[in-house]
């Protein structure tokens, strides 16, 4: 709704989702860019255009990068992140029953416990980069870490 | 370089999925083990490791050969009439059997750590009955997990990973259908894994008995729940707890150390086991069971070994090489000073027991069989170093859910260091 406020609200059907409400949703999910809305580029909507750019921040040019930060001082290697990660669950069958994945790790595997600490293996496979739609909002590893050692951030 | 799956002996969960890379002399990498398990593997090269037998001479511990140490042990045992054997929770079942045999040879009193820990639950269950379950069942079938007086996220780090977050065989959903209820006076790290459906109950310290009694009444007769709530828990939370307890298909209550003390003069465990039975009788849908969260990796093993071989699960007193009836425990024996030497195997009673008991234990000669330095090793008269079970020697051990597992020997022990079983056997050989 925050994004919808700054759109022209004319439903001019010049963009791909056709309505302003749908465009706002698509913006949120990262499917379209601010420049895809032709009326916004007109001079009278300049203020809204700039505001939207500020809100979304990073749509073009300097894209913000996803980082998953694991605090090694807090981590006690319980392996909840390994089991709960949906990418690990798909590619490493032992994690379905709470077991440690095979070694050497599978190329899609995201987390691994080594020497009693969590280790991030392959950030590119994370759902926040790979998946589409709602799955992009995955934050399970951060939510369920009992010691709050995992932080998901955009830098 | 060999990499294989082994069983970790870091805590009582005994994870059987740990991968290690080893060249037969050292362990290079440990994959999958938590910090507790990793520390266990680090003990091999730790500076706290005892590598030489030691004897106390003129008030100071000095290095000695194994034969000298064994001679001193025999001398101490032969001079005593009431030896006390304690520990046996961090050794294999074979060593426990040898330990009980040693007690019968020297007419001693033997007890394990379970007496002051989860053995209380098993003793109480003789009166009330108990419904046990296994970890595998918790992984595949459970839909309700109750952590009562236990901070599993920190004491047994991989437990929640296994039972709460795993998807299981029959339901591929996992975390979404499993409900976690944590009952604890303090907000522990286990509260950090809570989702929206879970119930976090911060109970007043020492009031668990009141809550259990209310739940028991509610299970019998569906009367109105007290409006004010009970023990610091409001009536809404109480309703949710009762709904989960009676509606679960396969619920498991994890009994932690917080419930073992008696509250208000009553045995909390007894009331809790009765509540579980009541739910099981009343409930048509599923079943409720309990699991005991102990710390030492083979605490349950001693109960099984002693019960199957001698007919009593703990506190065994021998006289004329035969088992005699006694109501004493290790605590009452030390309190009464009813012993004249003690043999400690793989534990650290000086730092575990209260000060007045430790002082009484220290006043008599102590023989220690262990692999690491501890408070007990500083006051012992004789120390015989032993292998690390699960890494340098194998054996049978029991998991917290009473499932026997086999520990493998991975690397060779250092020179002149034997396993607990071999050391106790050498003592018996020299005695007979």
The per-residue pLDDT for range B255-282, each reduced to its tens digit, is 988 888 888 888 899 999 998 888 888 8
Is B335 a domain residue? yes
**Looking at the predicted structure, is the pLDDT value of residue B165 above 70?**
yes
Query: For chain A, where do the domains classified as CATH 3.30.70.20 start and end?
Result: 66-154
| Interface-testing mutation among B6, B145, B158, B194, with chain A (most A C-beta atoms within 10 A) | B158
Nearest-CA distance B288 → chain A (Å): 21
Give the pLDDT mean for B180-207: 87
Distance CA B307, CA B126 (A): 13
Lowest mean pLDDT among A121-130, B323-332, B369-378: A121-130
Q: What is the mean pLDDT of residues B123-145?
A: 89
Task: Provide the pLDDT for residue B224.
Answer: 66
Residue A58 pLDDT exceeds 60: no
Tokens 């921040």 — which residue?
A: A57
Can you tell me the distance from the alpha carbon of B385 to that of B370, in angstroms, rounded to the nearest whole number? 5
- Taking the C-alpha atoms of residue B96 and residue B300, their distance in angstroms, rounded to an integer, is 11
Distance between CA atoms of residues B65 and B83, nearest Å? 24
Q: pLDDT category, B344, cuts 50, 70, 90?
A: very high
Contact A96 B168 (CB under 8 A): yes
Burial of A63 (0-12, 13-18, 19+ CB in 10 A): exposed
Say whether residue A117 is in contact with chain B using an 8 A CB cutoff: yes
Question: Which range among A144-148, B175-179, B340-344 has the greatest average pLDDT?
Answer: B340-344
Residues B145 and B258 grouped into a single domain: yes
Do B304 and B363 share a domain, yes or no?
yes
Mutation target to probe the A interface, by most A beta carbons within 10 A, among B20, B166, B172, B197 is B166
Categorize the per-residue pLDDT at B423 as very low, low, confident or very high, splitting at 50, 70 and 90.
very high
B353 and B283 belong to one structural domain: no
The correct CATH number of A2-56 out of 3.40.1350.10, 1.10.260.40, 1.10.15.40, 3.40.220.10 is 1.10.15.40
Q: Is A86 on the interface with B (CB under 8 A)?
A: no
Report if residue B10 sits inside a domain: no
Q: Is the dihedral of CA B47, B48, B50, B52 positive or negative?
A: positive
Give the tens place of pLDDT for each residue, B210-252: 888 888 887 766 666 777 777 888 888 888 888 888 888 889 9
Does residue B166 register a pLDDT over 70? yes
Question: B132-148 burial by CB neighbour count: b if 16+ within 10 A, else e?
Answer: ebbbebbbbbbbbbbbb
B129 & B255 share domain: yes
Number of structural domains, chain B?
A: 2
Domain ranges in chain A with CATH number 1.10.15.40:
2-56
Report the gap between the CA of B355 and the closest CA in chain A (Å).
Answer: 31
The better pLDDT of the pair A63, B242 is held by B242
What is chain A's length?
155
Sheet of B179-184: strand order equals: B199-202, B179-184, B144-148, B250-255, B287-292
pLDDT value of position A57: 59
Strand runs labelled E in B83-136: 83-87, 109-112
Omega of the bond prior to A28 within 30 degrees of 0, cis? no
3-class SS at B140?
A: helix
Please answer yes or no on whether A114 and B154 come within 8 Å at the CB atom: no
Sorting pLDDT into bands at 50, 70 and 90, what band is B1? low
- Give every CB contact of residue B308 below 8 A, 6+ residues apart in sequence: none
First-last CA distance in chain A: 25
Higher-pLDDT residue of B390 and B172 is B390
Nearest to B139 among A89, A98, A113 (CB): A98
A47 band by pLDDT with thresholds 50, 70 and 90: confident
Higher model confidence: residue A49 or residue B423?
Answer: B423
B45 lies in some domain: no
Domain of residue B82 covers 51-116+298-431
Q: What is the pLDDT of residues B29-79, one digit of tens each?
A: 888 888 888 888 888 888 989 999 999 988 888 999 999 999 999 999 999
Q: In this structure, are strands B60-63 and B54-57 parallel, antiparallel, or unpaired? A: antiparallel
Q: What is the pLDDT of residue B93?
A: 92
pLDDT at A6 over 90: no
* Spatial separation of the C-alpha atoms in residues B418 and B151, rounded to whole Å: 36
Q: Tokens representing A21?
A: 């409400």
Q: For B72-96, what is the mean pLDDT?
A: 91
CB pairs under 8 A between A and B: 107
**How far is residue A103's CA from residue A146's CA, in Å, rounded to a whole number?**
25
For residues B152 and B266, membership in a common domain is answered with yes
**How far is B344 from B84, CA to CA, in rounded Å?**
8
Cis check: omega of the bond before A148, within 30 degrees of 0: no
A72: nearest CA partner in chain B:
B35
pTM here is: 0.85
Report pLDDT for B222: 62
A61: pLDDT strictly greater than 50: no
User: pLDDT grade, residue A36 (50/70/90)?
Assistant: confident
Architecture of domain A66-154: 2-Layer Sandwich (3.30)
User: Does the distance separating the beta carbons of B160 and A78 come in below 8 Å?
Assistant: yes
Residue B327 lies in a domain: yes
Question: Cβ B193–A98 below 8 Å, yes or no?
Answer: no
At residue B221, the pLDDT reads 66
Q: What is the pLDDT of residues B312-321, one digit of tens each?
A: 888 899 999 8
A129 Cβ under 8 Å from any chain B Cβ: no
Strand B341-345 vs strand B322-324: parallel, antiparallel, or unpaired? unpaired
Chain B positions contacting chain A at CB under 8 Å are 3, 15, 17-19, 29-39, 139-140, 153-154, 157-158, 160-163, 165-169, 172, 175, 189-190, 192-193, 195
Label the pairing between strands B18-22 and B2-6. Answer: antiparallel
CATH (domain of B407): 3.40.50.740
Burial of B192 (0-12, 13-18, 19+ CB in 10 A): middle
């Amino acid at each position: 709704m925050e994004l919808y406020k700054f759109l022209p609200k004319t439903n001019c059907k010049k963009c791909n989702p056709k309505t302003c409400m749908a465009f706002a949703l698509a913006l949120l999910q990262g499917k379209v860019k601010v420049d895809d809305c032709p009326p916004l580029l007109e001079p009278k909507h300049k203020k809204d255009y700039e505001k939207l750019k500020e809100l979304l921040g990073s749509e073009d040019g300097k894209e913000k990068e996803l980082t998953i930060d694991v605090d090694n001082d807090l981590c006690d290697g319980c392996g909840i992140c390994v089991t709960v990660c949906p990418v690990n669950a798909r590619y490493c069958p032992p994690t379905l029953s709470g077991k440690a994945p095979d070694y050497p790790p599978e190329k899609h595997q995201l987390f691994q416990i080594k020497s009693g600490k969590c280790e991030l293996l392959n950030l590119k496979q994370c759902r926040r980069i790979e998946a589409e739609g709602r799955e992009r909002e995955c934050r399970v590893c951060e939510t369920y870490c009992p010691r709050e050692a995992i932080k998901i951030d955009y830098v | 370089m060999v990499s294989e799956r082994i069983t970790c002996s870091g805590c009582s969960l005994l994870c059987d999925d740990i991968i290690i890379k080893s060249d037969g002399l050292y362990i290079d990498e440990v994959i999958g083990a938590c910090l507790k398990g990793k520390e266990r593997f680090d003990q091999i090269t730790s500076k706290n490791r005892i590598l030489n037998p030691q004897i106390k001479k003129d008030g100071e511990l000095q290095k000695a050969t194994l034969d000298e140490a064994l001679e001193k042990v025999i001398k101490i045992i032969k001079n005593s009439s009431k030896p006390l054997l304690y520990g046996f929770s961090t050794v294999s079942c074979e060593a426990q059997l040898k330990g009980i045999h040693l007690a019968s040879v020297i007419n001693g009193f033997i007890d394990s750590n379970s007496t002051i820990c989860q053995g209380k639950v098993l003793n109480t269950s003789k009166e009330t009955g108990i419904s046990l379950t296994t970890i595998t069942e918790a992984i595949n079938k459970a839909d309700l997990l109750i952590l009562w007086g236990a901070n599993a996220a920190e004491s047994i780090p991989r437990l929640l990973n296994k039972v709460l977050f795993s998807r299981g065989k029959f339901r591929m959903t996992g975390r979404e259908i499993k409900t976690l209820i944590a009952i604890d006076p303090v907000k522990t790290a286990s509260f950090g894994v809570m989702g929206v459906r879970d119930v976090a109950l911060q109970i007043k310290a020492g009031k668990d008995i009141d809550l259990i009694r209310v739940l028991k009444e509610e299970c019998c007769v569906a009367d109105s729940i007290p409006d004010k709530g009970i023990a610091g828990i409001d009536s809404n939370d109480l309703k949710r707890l009762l709904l989960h307890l009676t509606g679960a298909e396969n619920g498991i209550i994890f009994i932690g150390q917080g419930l073992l003390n008696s509250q208000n003069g009553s045995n909390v465990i007894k009331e809790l086991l009765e509540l579980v039975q009541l739910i099981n009788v009343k409930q048509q849908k599923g079943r409720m069971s309990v699991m005991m969260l102990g710390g030492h990796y083979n605490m349950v093993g001693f109960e099984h070994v002693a019960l199957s071989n001698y007919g009593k699960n703990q506190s065994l007193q021998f006289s004329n090489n035969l088992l005699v009836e006694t109501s004493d425990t290790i605590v009452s024996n030390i309190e009464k000073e009813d012993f004249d030497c003690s043999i400690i195997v793989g534990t650290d009673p000086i730092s575990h027991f209260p000060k007045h008991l430790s002082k009484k234990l220290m006043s008599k000669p102590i023989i220690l069989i262990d692999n690491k330095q501890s408070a007990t090793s500083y006051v012992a008269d004789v120390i015989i170093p032993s292998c690390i079970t699960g890494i340098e020697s194998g054996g049978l051990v029991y998991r917290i859910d009473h499932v026997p597992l086999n520990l493998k020997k991975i690397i060779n022990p250092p020179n002149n260091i034997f396993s607990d079983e071999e050391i106790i056997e050498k003592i018996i050989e020299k005695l007979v």
